């Protein structure tokens, strides 16, 4: 995508608005559009600047301020000096003026004391009551009338005033839209020298933008905060009064459009997720046909299906592939949504797990074309097969325990700490096994004396490593291409197989969500998650013939390559969209 060609020319506001819906469809687009609209509004780029200069407005407000000081309604604050070029965050239209916030608004703060609380009385509003960007008195604390009156002497709240959190979560400005009968604590209070010459909604827009800068610059040993002096000193871009009203109206219009587009996206995302779930369920759980053998279903391994039904359902996924897996919508609300957590990427993850599940349950290829797996197991010296039914598998497969497939299963020795070194042999810890692979980002080394007991846990190609303690429990890595000596810690189980011929297939079984559930069946360490070696040895494995395993692995690799390509396309699409949005912002604020 040539993102540069899509970005509007500098100052082309009309082009930006015409492409509003296009930008909104990008990953995170609606959220970013809200930010751009806010930024353009405060910079004077959202509506035409055809009013007289705002200098007369500023002079009128300063004069009103002086009148209030003379009447002793407000106190004079220390002069804050001229605004420097470094303080100006952006350029403003020629008919606007920069002013200190305290020249335009009466800025105060609530009490810093902690009045005595009581079961009822007057609410005491703090930053937690405006955390959501709205005034919420649900869990407010109450103070007496005398304390309320005392606090109100310096910081009485009136309808139309704006509250601004000064401690903790800085910002979250809120316009008071009710008749307030409450006091404030550690909250900035923006009032007006002349209500008729002020537009609270424009101030609210500016404070939302300014709070981002304040959060970055905030200081505080225990928690972030901004002082009253900081609030009074912030440079404020003052437009003419009528232009402020037009800006607020335009922002409301575009924010309403953002809300509408977001709602449409959420509905579409829900539809795509439901369709994907239905397609997967149909593929794994079609209407059963009668079979010569009685089949029991299992939550771990789904019932096998006739090839014709499977092919029909797979074809349905293939026909709607782009709809189910090429979507770049944000996750629906309530789905753990993050900026880069997209329906398309989440569905690709589901597709990977679907492929692995089918591969280890006889659904991915036609098992009837391959020999009975018991013949291979007997050749390996294994003649003990599990009679327990852990789930339905093809008739020529069988269940076998992991310890039957293993030469031995062990874990690292204790007391490795005394052998730690800056160089030597690699020491594999539980945190080194990530994403079902060995990934030694911060490598550890040990230097072992000869004939030490710990050398029994030396790792070699074809070994399988499983983490057995801690939050990372149950992660599994297959060792391949190891060109160095390596040993495992006491938190890692080492599985040495009788033969490496089935290592790759076994790893795929252990690392899919369904086989992985068998791993996490016990808790051998009290409150901490963990596994013991007996539990690992008892893990059941659905075992096809080694010849069939090779075909399964090849098919899985082929489909995983497709998933990787699809995921890269989605990520590239996201990257292109990001560049497009950045180009748009750069062009409009130039």
Q: pLDDT by residue (tens digit) across 255-283? A: 998 888 888 877 877 777 777 777 777 76
Query: Domain 398-543 adopts which CATH fold?
Result: Adenine-n6-DNA-methyltransferase TaqI; Chain A, domain 2 (3.90.220)
Cβ–Cβ under 8 Å, residues 137 and 125:
yes
Number of neighbouring beta carbons within 10 Å of residue 408: 13
Q: Which residue has the higher pLDDT, 335 or 429?
A: 429
* 204 membership: H or E segment, kind and range: helix 200-217
pLDDT surpassing 50 at residue 211: yes
Which of 54-68, 288-302, 334-348, 369-383 is least confident? 288-302
Identify the pLDDT of residue 17. 73
Q: Give the H/E segment covering residue 263.
A: helix 241-284
580 Cβ contact list (under 8 Å, min separation 6): 1, 3, 6, 7, 23, 26
The whole-number average pLDDT for the span 135-150 is 91
Tens digit of each residue's pLDDT (9 = 90 or more) over 501-527:
999 999 999 888 777 667 665 444 455
- 382 near 400, Cβ under 8 Å? yes
Give the tens place of pLDDT for each residue, 74-109.
Answer: 888 888 888 998 888 889 999 999 999 999 999 999
Angle between helices 343-359 and 241-284 (to 10 degrees): 10
CA distance linking residue 266 with residue 260, whole number of Å: 10
As given in the structure block, the two tokens for residue 462 are: 């074809």
pLDDT reported for residue 296: 40
Residue 333 vs residue 445, higher pLDDT: 445
pLDDT at 340: 44
Residue limits of CATH 3.90.220.20 in the chain: 55-239, 398-543
Local confidence band at 215 (pLDDT 50, 70, 90 cut-offs): confident
pLDDT for the residue numbered 100:
93
Residue with more model confidence, 443 or 570: 443
- The pLDDT tens digits for 280-307 are 777 666 554 444 343 443 343 344 444 4
Segment among 25-29, 134-138, 151-155 with least mean pLDDT: 25-29
Given a cut of 70, is residue 4 above it in pLDDT?
no
pLDDT value, residue 338? 45
Instruction: Say what percent of the chain tops pLDDT 70.
Output: 80
Rounded to an integer, the average pLDDT of 450-479 is 85
CA atoms of 540 and 400, how far apart (whole Å): 6
pLDDT at residue 207 in the model: 94
Mean pLDDT of the chain: 81
- Taking only the tens place, the pLDDT of each residue in 218-268 is 655 456 788 899 899 999 999 999 999 999 999 999 999 888 888 887 787
The per-residue pLDDT for 520 is 60
Instruction: Work out the angle between the directed axes of helices 200-217 and 29-43 (0-180°, nearest 10).
Output: 110
Which pLDDT score, from 0 to 100, does residue 469 have?
85
CA 63 to chain centre: 50
Q: What is the number of other CB atoms lying within 10 angstroms of the CB of residue 272?
A: 22
- Quick: pLDDT tens for 321-360: 666 665 656 666 655 444 445 666 777 777 888 888 888 8
The reported pLDDT for the residue numbered 2 is: 38
pLDDT above 80 for 539? yes
Closest of 377, 366, 319, 344 to residue 498, by C-alpha: 377
**E strand or H helix at 446:** strand 444-446
pLDDT for the residue 308: 45
Res 451: pLDDT: 66
pLDDT value, residue 206: 95
Q: Name the CATH superfamily housing domain 55-239.
A: DNA methylase specificity domains (3.90.220.20)
Is residue 574 left, alpha or beta, with left meaning phi > 0 and alpha meaning psi from -120 to 50? alpha
What is the SS3 assignment for 192? strand
C-alpha span between 191 and 279 (Å, rounded) = 58
What is the reported pLDDT for 527?
56
Calpha distance 186→163 (Å, rounded): 10
pLDDT at 7: 40
Residues 449-476, mean pLDDT to the nearest whole number: 83
């Amino acid at each position: 995508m040539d993102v540069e060609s899509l970005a509007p020319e500098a100052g082309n506001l009309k082009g930006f608005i015409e492409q509003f819906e296009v930008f909104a469809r990008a990953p995170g687009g609606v959220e970013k559009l809200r930010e751009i609209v806010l930024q353009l509004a405060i910079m004077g780029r959202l509506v035409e600047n055809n009013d007289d200069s705002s200098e007369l407005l500023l002079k009128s407000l300063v004069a009103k301020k002086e009148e209030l000081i003379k009447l002793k309604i407000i106190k004079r604050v220390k002069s804050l000096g001229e605004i420097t070029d470094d303080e100006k965050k952006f350029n403003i239209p020629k008919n606007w003026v920069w002013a200190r916030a305290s020249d335009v608004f009466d800025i105060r703060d609530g009490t810093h004391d902690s009045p005595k609380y009581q079961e009822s009385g007057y609410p005491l509003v703090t930053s937690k009551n405006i955390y959501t960007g709205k005034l919420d008195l649900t869990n407010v604390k109450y103070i007496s009338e005398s304390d309320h009156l005392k606090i109100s002497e310096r910081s009485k709240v009136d309808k139309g005033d704006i509250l601004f959190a000064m401690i903790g979560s800085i910002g979250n400005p809120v316009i008071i839209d009710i008749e307030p009968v409450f006091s404030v604590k550690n909250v900035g209070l923006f009032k007006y020298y002349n209500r008729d010459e002020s537009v609270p909604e424009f101030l609210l827009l500016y404070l939302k933008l300014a709070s981002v800068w304040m959060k970055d610059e905030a200081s505080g040993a225990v928690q972030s905060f901004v002082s009253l002096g900081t609030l009074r000193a912030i440079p404020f871009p003052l437009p003419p009064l009528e232009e402020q009203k037009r800006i607020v109206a335009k922002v409301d219009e575009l924010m309403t459009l953002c809300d509408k587009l977001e709602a449409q996206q959420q509905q579409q995302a829900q539809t795509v997720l439901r369709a994907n779930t239905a397609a997967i369920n149909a593929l794994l759980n079609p209407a059963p046909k009668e079979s010569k053998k009685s089949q029991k279903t299992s939550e771990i391994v789904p019932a096998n299906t006739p090839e014709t039904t499977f092919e029909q359902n797979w074809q349905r996924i293939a026909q709607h592939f782009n709809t189910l897996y090429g979507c770049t919508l944000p996750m629906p609300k309530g789905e753990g949504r993050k900026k880069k957590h997209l329906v398309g990427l989440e569905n690709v993850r589901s597709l990977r797990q679907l492929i692995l599940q089918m591969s280890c349950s006889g659904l991915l290829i036609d098992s009837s074309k391959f020999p009975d797996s018991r013949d291979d197991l007997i050749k390996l010296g294994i003649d003990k097969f599990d009679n327990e039914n852990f789930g339905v598998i093809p008739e020529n497969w069988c269940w076998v325990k992991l310890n039957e497939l293993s030469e031995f299963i062990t874990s690292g020795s204790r007391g490795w700490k005394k052998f730690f070194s800056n160089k030597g042999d690699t020491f594999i810890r539980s945190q080194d096994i990530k994403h079902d692979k060995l990934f030694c980002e911060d490598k550890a080394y040990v230097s072992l004396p000869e004939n030490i007991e710990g050398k029994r846990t030396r790792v070699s190609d074809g070994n399988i490593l499983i983490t057995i303690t801690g939050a990372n429990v149950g992660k599994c890595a297959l060792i391949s291409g190891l060109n160095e000596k390596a040993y495992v810690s006491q938190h890692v189980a080492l599985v040495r197989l009788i033969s490496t011929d089935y290592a790759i297939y076994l790893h795929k079984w252990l690392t899919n969500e369904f086989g992985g559930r068998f791993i996490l069946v016990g808790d051998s360490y009290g409150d901490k998650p963990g596994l013991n070696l007996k539990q690992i040895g008892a893990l059941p494995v659905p075992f096809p013939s080694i010849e069939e395993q090779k075909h399964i692995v090849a098919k899985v690799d082929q489909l995983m390559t497709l998933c990787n390509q699809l995921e890269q396309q989605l990520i590239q699409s996201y990257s292109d969209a990001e560049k497009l949005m950045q180009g748009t912002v750069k062009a409009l604020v130039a």
